Amino acid sequence: MRSRRVSFAEPPLEEVKFSDFSRHNIHFSFLRLDKIHSELGGNKYYKLKQNINHILTLGRPTVVSFGGAYSNHLRALAAAGRIYSFKTIGFVRGEIVRPLNPILKFCEENGMELKEISRENYRLKSSINFVRKLRSELGEYYLLPEGGSNLNALKGCAEIPRLIPNETEYNLRYITLACGTGLTLSGIVIGATQLERTQAIGFSALKAPGYLNREVEGYLSSISEEFCSNSLIPWRVEDEYHCGGYAKKTPKLIEFIERFTQETSVPIEPTYTGKMLYGLSQLLDDGVVESSTQVVAIHTGGVYLN
């Protein structure tokens, strides 16, 4: 996924010192996917990577997708449309309120056509009748599911573990990341089969116990033996660190993020990566995540809003 008009950086694996982790003798590293690109970085880069390649081979058709009013997916897709010169249409759940919030303003400024969709119709967006109606109104288009979650995205996210060394000197290595749809976690589980003594922990950003676990199981069961011939690494989803639900915050979460940022100078936001690190700290204190181990945390990017 390359363009003459934009360059993508190789995401660094940075060793980070933070007191909450150091007291448990954790060797902590951050895989900085947020440094790939300012507008098309994070895990969204990998979710869109192979989709964009396919879109370009199709001759740059109009790309249609869905999301909420603060969707990082729609933001990344709008950036991709501008960078690679294809039209994008974003169906936004609920009413589009003007003046636009920073996410939707960015989408519109980058050429995305924003359309309202009722919450009732949003639930039906994958139905045959809805897709047929959409095609009759828009003509031919490339449909990208909510969050960009399809097989191309799964294959793209399976590339992420290649950025992590296969060998580890520790008896156990954890890969941790925040989860919104479960697809990035699924891709990492698929792509990490060559990593030694490694398991993955996803931290749900949603208040939906069991939901992401089922989603990951569904993604993993959909892959063919050809795509993944080796045994998958152990994985699990932690559901207790959503801090009240998607995009919700608590004083303890905010205090944790402020301390982490002050000690490390690494920016994190409270919707995804902040909750993941907060949850990791709690699991270490509770002894659920073992001390004297290695942790590779995935910085999935995200937009910093007040």
Neighbouring CB atoms inside 10 A of 128's CB total 8
User: Does 249 lie in the same domain as 176?
Assistant: yes
Tell me how long the chain is.
306
Give the range of the structural domain holding residue 264, as residue numbers without chain letter.
Answer: 13-38+152-299
- Would you say residue 108 lies in a domain? yes
Strands 113-117 and 173-179: unpaired
User: Does 133 lie in the same domain as 245?
Assistant: no
How confident is the model at residue 3, as a pLDDT? 46
- Would you say residue 221 lies in a domain? yes
Would you call 188 helix, strand, or coil by DSSP?
helix
Would you call 281 helix, strand, or coil by DSSP?
helix
State pTM to two decimals.
0.94
- Would you say residue 305 lies in a domain? no
Residue 235: C-alpha distances to residues 45, 161, 200 (Å): 23, 14, 5
User: Does 283 lie in the same domain as 175?
Assistant: yes
User: Does 26 lie in the same domain as 161?
Assistant: yes
How confident is the model at residue 4, as a pLDDT? 47
How confident is the model at residue 125, as a pLDDT? 93
How confident is the model at residue 226, as a pLDDT? 55
As for how many domains the chain has, the answer is 2
**Successive 10-residue mean pLDDT values, the chain, 306 residues:** 69 98 98 96 96 97 95 96 97 96 97 96 92 91 94 96 97 97 96 96 97 96 67 96 95 98 96 97 97 97 72
- Do 280 and 29 touch, CB atoms closer than 8 A? no
User: Does 166 lie in the same domain as 137?
Assistant: no
